[in-house]
Structures are given as structure tokens and as C-alpha cells.
Amino acid sequence: MNTAVQLATRAAPGGMPPAAPLAMPPQDLRSGPQRRAGPGQDAAVLFARYILISVTLGVTAYGIYQMLQVVRFANMTFLQGLMIVFFAISLAWIAFAAGSVVAGASKRRDPVPRGGIGEAALTALVMPIYNEDPLRTTTALQAMAESLADRGAQHAFEVVVLSDSTDADAWIRETEAIARLRKALAGIMPVWYRRRWRNVARKSGNLEDFVTGWGARYGQMVVLDADSLIEPDTLVRMVEVMHADPDLGLVQSAPQLIGARTFFGRLQQFAACVYGPVITRGLAAWSGDSSNYWGHNAVIRVAAFAACCGLPVLEGRKPFGGHVLSHDFVEAALMRRGGWKVRMHTDYGGSWEESPPSLIDVAVRDRRWAQGNLQHLKVLGAAGLSFTSRLHLGIGIMSYLSSPLWLLMITVGFALAVQSHLIRPEYFTSDFQLFPTWPRFDVRLMMALFWFSMVVLMVPKLLGLVRALVTPGIRRHCGGAVGVCASFLLETVLSALYAPVLMMIQSRHVFEVFMGRDSGWKPQRRDDGGTSWRDAWRYHRRHMILSCVTAGIVYSLSPPLLLWLSPALLGLFLSVPLSRASGSAALGRALGKVGLLRTPAEVEPPLLVRRRQELLRQARTLPEDGLRHLARDHEARLRHVTDNLRRPADPRGRPDPNHFTAAQKLADATTLDEALGWLTPAERVEVAADARLLDTLASLPDLIRPAVVI
């Protein structure tokens, strides 16, 4: 009996539960909805905002005043004025960051309700994926489900994997991995899987498709990334908080980095461990009930999400128009606009994610983020948004505009140096001037202002260092006070070297966005794959050449100025070896062995992390050639088609050409190898979605046996 006939005898509708639709209308950004009534911000939040505003305005005003003393205000040139403008914006940006972490001291402890998670409202553990390694995703879900079962909370959760994969082999590996996960969690927790046929609007569209199709089944959903892990106590506590407060729409946890093995990954992991908590605590302190959403490791009330977070298609062409890319910031703002509370809880812990393994991987991810955040320029003026939500959107925009602003400030300073060297100053600016106007540039005051700016820039790191030194768990696992301080110095120096490289990368990203270039949608690399010398040279050769040319010009004009610019130029000059080293797992291991850049979760991995690693070691490899596997494994073929929702029918009179050509190629092929060699990637997807085409593929022999001559 072939696959198509057997499918007719089975009642399973696919990999998802019965439909439970929930309306999710697109929001109108030009007119705000009627807001739900709710309490105002408490005194602690208002006090944190007072600290934030005072520090930001005070530091910025002092810096501008001192900068005006460096040059004579009455005789300021255009370039000097431009320099002061860029300096003021940059100083205000770092002053805001410093004020935010200082404001964190006023934050109250997050609530710890004891009401239980209830029996009525299910919580979906939702993991959207896109051409990911399914072994990593399913082992993480299995570890979380088992840990919830150990806590006795498995009855309140269901696993939902939402695939947007476009590669046939990745899709087939997903269904095989999901089948294993269902078997492993049989009797513990239901596992649902849906691959979307048309991945409109990327991740936000993936979630919207889930909510509109099955959202009414769930009270909450915990949105996970493909690299997410959340401890059971943290999951249960976030759901308890949601149950205890009917006005709460979203609770964002503060995820920490874990599992880094490469040099750059360990650098980010240590920074997130030491500086991350003071940064997120400050952000939560002044945000209050108007906090932000980072797209993952958060629990969301499904009804509130459906009512408020249907994203509109932005007017205009890409990259600013079209579907919203960085949807999470916008969804938080829209939910708050609808009167729901959006909070960030920083005291629970037990929330984990992984970092990109190398500098180039960070750059690839940042290209998409840059476009998404700059796209928020079209959302910033939406009607009905709270001031705090607009501030979050502005921070996201400024996080990428700050790099070209820094680059412009350096360029203007360079132009001032060239001007002073090549252009003779005019001492008598009027015909009847009795005394000359002497050029003025107070070098000592400028140096003092530079060091003042460096101190402001270092405030978040210094407060994070103090917290690490006074926290016994961090201090002990990071090598004691000496180990923490040594790692801090290493991270600070290396961050200073990587900073100008990232500045150039982000400046290019911003330029490309404003030039109208779309980022596309590339899957993120999450393994330990290193960076070759060839890739490093190809990606960073312009940075190295630029630093050499700039250094030569500056040295010919003013050797002291070269010393001033050397920190930025040194990072660019070393960009190729720095990038090559960033993806090195060997260098990462060597630093760990000598006790540098360690974190508590690395020294004593949590039980959940150890269980995921154990499951990964035990897991059998999945087939590389998915179609070949389905053609030769009848049960896998039946399972693949049964456990997926049916392919949607083509519109009348508009058949899909890939489906037609795939069927014709299979009809013409004489062997399996011939058919697989002919099929294009799009045709492979069509074959994987059609039981009859799969049967045709399976009927082909591996080779043609020659006729026996008698």
C-alpha cells in the first residue's frame, strides 16, 4: 500500500491540535485604540526616571559647556560647531546609558506570587524556527519539558514548534526530530508542529499565523528562540505572575548568554554576565509597566497579543516600507498603547540564550537588526504610544545611528586638524581691528574632557565590576577577585579594539539601509564554526587599508594627532587577525583553562543545561539528504506527510510551476540519483509536500541493472 492510500485511512489532521482561531486585526498606526484603564506608575519608577533624566541632562550640559570652553564660542568656525553638535549627541547617548544603570539602584524586587499556575489556561512553549539545526531545538524543548514534569507543572504546558524553513532537507530533518521528541515526551507533554507554506512577514507573521489559527486554545505563550533555554522555576513563576495580574500583558525575562566556546563568544558571555544585570535592572527600573520586549524568553497573554499586536504593512518600498522586521519593540509599544502592562523581570534568573560565535556572524545578524531598528522611524510617530514606548523605539534607532555619528565626529576632528595645518589662520578679521584674534584650542581642557567622557562611558562596566566582586557566586566561579579583575581588563581592552571595527560595520549597514538595500532573511549560524583567514581578509580588508592610509596622512600632517587617533586606527589595522581570532574555539578554551572570561554557568552548568548537552550527545544524527531518506524509508515517508498540515491548494488557473516541473522530472527520471540531481531547491520542497510525488520518487531504483545476455 503506497503512502497516498495509507494517508486516506488515517484520521490525523496534521501536526497541530484542532483549530481554535483568534482574531488578530492589523493595527492602525494613525489612530490609537481606546485604552484600557489601569493604575499609574508607582513612586519607585518615577524616582528612577528622575535619576535618569538628571544624570543625562547634567552630564550632557556639563560636557557641552566644557567643550565650548575648548574653543572661543564667539569665534567658532563651522567645523568646530559641527564637532560640538556631534560631541553633544554622542555624550548624551553615553550619559543616558550611565544614568540608566544608576537608576537601577532604585528598582524594587520583582513580585513572587504564590497563587499557582491554575488549570484552566494552557501555556504554549512556542519556538519559531527557520532552517535551524533541529537536534539543538528539540533537545532544548525536551530538557525544558522534562524539567517541568519533575516540578509537577507539565499539565499546564504544551510544546509548539512553528517552522518557516524553506529548505526541503531542513524541513524533513525537522519532522524526523519532532517525531523523536513526541516519542520522548509521550505521556508528559503534547508536542505540536506546523511548517508554514508561505512565510509572509517572517517571524512576526509566523507567530500571527499561530495565534489566528490556534490562539484561543492558550491563555499564555512563552516565545522562545531556537537557542533559548528557560529553567522550570522561572517558567512557572512568570506564568504565576501573569495569572496574578489580569492587567499584565507581557513579562520579559533577562536572558543570560551560555554555551559560548569561541573567543568572541566567551568575550560576549563574560560581558553579559558581569555588566548585563546592572544594565537590565536599570532598564526595568525606569520602564516600569511600559517596558520592552526582546522577541524571545518572554511570556505573553495571547488574548492581549491578538487584540493589540497585529502588525500593519508599512507604506513605501523596502527597506523602510513593507513588513515590520524588528517586530518585538513595536509589539511591546502596541500592547502598552492598548492599556496592557509590559514588564521586565530581572530577579528570576534561569533564562538563557546563545551568542553568535564570531565577529562576522555578529555583523550578519546586525545587518538585519539595523534595517529593522531604522524601520522604526516610521513607527515612532504612531498615534497613542506612550512616551516611554517611543523612547524604547528611539533607543533602538540610536543604537545604530550612534556608529555613523561617532564616525562623523572623528571625520570632522580629522578635517579640523587638516584645516589647522594647511590653512593659515586670519588674525585680523576686519579692516580696522586694533588687536589680532588669536586662534584658541585649549589642549589641557580637551584632554580633561576626553577622560571625563571615558569615565561616563565606563560607568556601566565599573558598576557591573563592583557587583561581580561583591556577589560571592560570581566572584568564586570567575576566579576570585583577581580573576574577575583580570577578565574585566582583558574584556575592556579587547572591546576597545573591536569597537572601531563594529563602528565601521554598523555605519556601512546604516548607509546600505538609507540607500534602499534590503537585508533579506538569512539563517543565523549557531555552531562553533571558525573564521578562516580568507573570510576575515575578504570582510575586513577595507578596514585595514583605511587605517593604513589614514595613519599615513595623519602622520604627515601632525604626529601628535596620530597618537590621539591610534586607539581607533589600531583596532581597524588589526581587524583581520581580530576577526580570525574571534571565531577560534581553541583560543576560547585556552582562556578558560587559565581562568579568564569564566562565568558561573560555565563552571557549574545548571541542571537544565547539562540535560540538554546530554540529550545532544545521545541523539542520533539526522539525514543530510532528506528526500533520499524519505524515498528509502517508508515509515519516515508516511510520518512526514501525516505529521504536516496539507499543502494549500493553488488558486484556480494559476498552478505552481515548480510543482508541475517536479512531477515531470520524476516521470522522466529512470533512477533515484537522476531525479535528485535534476530537482531544484524549490522543486524539492514541492516533492516533500506531496504524497504522490514522494511515492513516485520512492519507486525509482538506485541504478539501472544491465540486461543479462543469454
Residue 689 one-letter amino acid: A
Query: Mind giving me the DSSP string for 478-504?
Result: TTHHHHHHHHHHHHHHHHHHHHHHHHH
Q: Is residue 569 part of a domain?
A: no
Q: Which residue has the higher pLDDT, 545 or 554?
A: 545
Could you tell me the sign of the dihedral formed by the alpha carbons of 675, 678, 680, 686, in that order? negative
Question: Do 308 and 337 meet the contact criterion of CB atoms below 8 Å apart?
Answer: yes
CA distance 675 to 667: 9
DSSP-assigned beta bridge partners for residue 223? 126, 298
Ramachandran angles phi, psi of 55, nearest 5°: -65, -45
CA distance 294 to 254: 9
Residue 28 one-letter amino acid: D
CA distance 579 to 501: 9
Residue 689's nearest CA partner among 679, 700, 674, 704 is 679
CA distance 274 to 462: 10
**Cα Rg, the chain, nearest whole Å:** 29
Q: How confident is the model at residue 561 (pLDDT cuts 50, 70, 90)?
A: confident
Q: Determine the average pLDDT of the residues in 260-289.
A: 96
Ramachandran bin of 339, using left for φ above 0, alpha for ψ from -120 to 50, beta for the remaining angles: left
Q: Is residue 628 part of a domain?
A: no
Express each pLDDT in 664-683 by its tens digit.
Answer: 999 999 999 999 999 999 99
Per the document, the length of the chain is 710
Instruction: Provide the 8-state DSSP code for 298.
Output: E
Q: Is residue 412 part of a domain?
A: yes
Q: Does residue 4 surpass a pLDDT of 80? A: no
For residue 387, the Cα-to-chain-centroid distance in whole angstroms is 24
Q: Does residue 122 surpass a pLDDT of 50? A: yes
Ramachandran angles phi, psi of 163, nearest 5°: -95, 135
Question: Do 505 and 366 meet the contact criterion of CB atoms below 8 Å apart?
Answer: yes
Q: Is residue 211 part of a domain?
A: yes
Question: Do 247 and 336 meet the contact criterion of CB atoms below 8 Å apart?
Answer: no
Q: How many CB atoms lie within 10 A of CB 667?
A: 10
Out of 68-77, 96-105, 474-483, 700-709, give the one with best mean pLDDT: 96-105
Cell output for 245:
495580574
Number of domains in the chain: 1
Question: Do 420 and 368 meet the contact criterion of CB atoms below 8 Å apart?
Answer: no
For residue 53, the Cα-to-chain-centroid distance in whole angstroms is 28
Residue 220 one-letter amino acid: Q
Question: Do 131 and 312 meet the contact criterion of CB atoms below 8 Å apart?
Answer: no
CA distance 74 to 191: 71
- Per-residue b or e along 189-207, where b marks 16 or more CB atoms closer than 10 Å to that residue's CB: bbbbbbbbeebebbbbbbb
Q: Is residue 4 part of a domain?
A: no
CA distance 396 to 376: 8
pLDDT at 318: 84
pLDDT at 436: 46
Three-class SS of residue 299? strand
Question: Do 238 and 299 meet the contact criterion of CB atoms below 8 Å apart?
Answer: yes
For residue 589, the Cα-to-chain-centroid distance in whole angstroms is 25
DSSP-assigned beta bridge partners for residue 301? 220
pLDDT at 706: 60
CA distance 584 to 2: 49
Q: Write down the residue that cell numbers 526530530 correspond to.
A: 177
CA distance 313 to 296: 22
pLDDT at 79: 83
Task: Specify the pTM.
Answer: 0.92
pLDDT at 430: 53
Residue 307 one-letter amino acid: A
Q: Is residue 9 part of a domain?
A: no
pLDDT at 13: 57
CA distances from 503 to 413, 453, 479, 572, 657 (A): 16, 18, 32, 10, 45
Express each pLDDT in 370-387 by its tens digit.
Answer: 999 999 999 999 999 999
Residue 332's nearest CA partner among 273, 246, 275, 391 is 391
The range of the structural domain enclosing residue 173 comes to: 15-106+116-379+386-426+437-530+583-622
Three-class SS of residue 17? coil
DSSP-assigned beta bridge partners for residue 220? 123, 301
Q: Does residue 439 surpass a pLDDT of 90? A: no
Q: Does residue 62 surpass a pLDDT of 60? A: yes
DSSP-assigned beta bridge partners for residue 229? 352
Three-class SS of residue 301? strand
Q: Does residue 573 surpass a pLDDT of 80? A: yes
CA distance 597 to 599: 7
Planar angle of CA 118, 294, 397, nearest 5 degrees: 150
Q: Determine the average pLDDT of the residues in 453-482.
A: 94
Residue 210 one-letter amino acid: F
CA distances from 599 to 140, 256, 269, 494 (A): 21, 10, 8, 18
CA distance 516 to 519: 10
- Strands in 341-344's sheet, in edge-to-edge order, are 191-195, 157-163, 122-129, 218-223, 298-301, 248-252, 341-344
Percent of the chain that is helix, strand, coil (3-state, to 5): 60, 5, 35
Q: Write down the residue that cell numbers 533559548 correspond to.
A: 228
Q: Write down the residue that cell numbers 576566579 correspond to.
A: 479
What CATH number corresponds to the domain at position 79? 3.90.550.10
Express each pLDDT in 625-669 by its tens digit.
Answer: 999 999 999 999 999 999 999 899 888 889 899 999 999 999 999
pLDDT at 102: 97
Q: Is residue 710 part of a domain?
A: no
Three-class SS of residue 569? helix
Q: How confident is the model at residue 517 (pLDDT cuts 50, 70, 90)?
A: confident
pLDDT at 492: 96
Ramachandran angles phi, psi of 472, nearest 5°: -55, -40
CA distance 419 to 291: 47
Q: How many CB atoms lie within 10 A of CB 150?
A: 12
The percent of residues in the chain predicted with pLDDT above 70, rounded, is 90
Question: Do 676 and 628 meet the contact criterion of CB atoms below 8 Å apart?
Answer: yes
In the predicted model, what is the mean pLDDT of the chain?
Answer: 90
Q: How confident is the model at residue 438 (pLDDT cuts 50, 70, 90)?
A: very low
pLDDT at 437: 47
Q: Does residue 624 surpass a pLDDT of 90? A: yes
Q: Does residue 74 surpass a pLDDT of 90? A: no
Q: How confident is the model at residue 351 (pLDDT cuts 50, 70, 90)?
A: very high
Q: Determine the average pLDDT of the residues in 117-135.
A: 89
Express each pLDDT in 181-239 by its tens digit.
Answer: 999 999 999 999 999 999 899 999 999 999 999 999 999 999 999 999 999 999 999 99
Three-class SS of residue 218? strand
pLDDT at 113: 80
- Strands in 229-230's sheet, in edge-to-edge order, are 229-230, 351-353, 256-257
Q: Is residue 639 part of a domain?
A: no
CA distances from 66 to 402, 438, 441 (A): 22, 19, 12
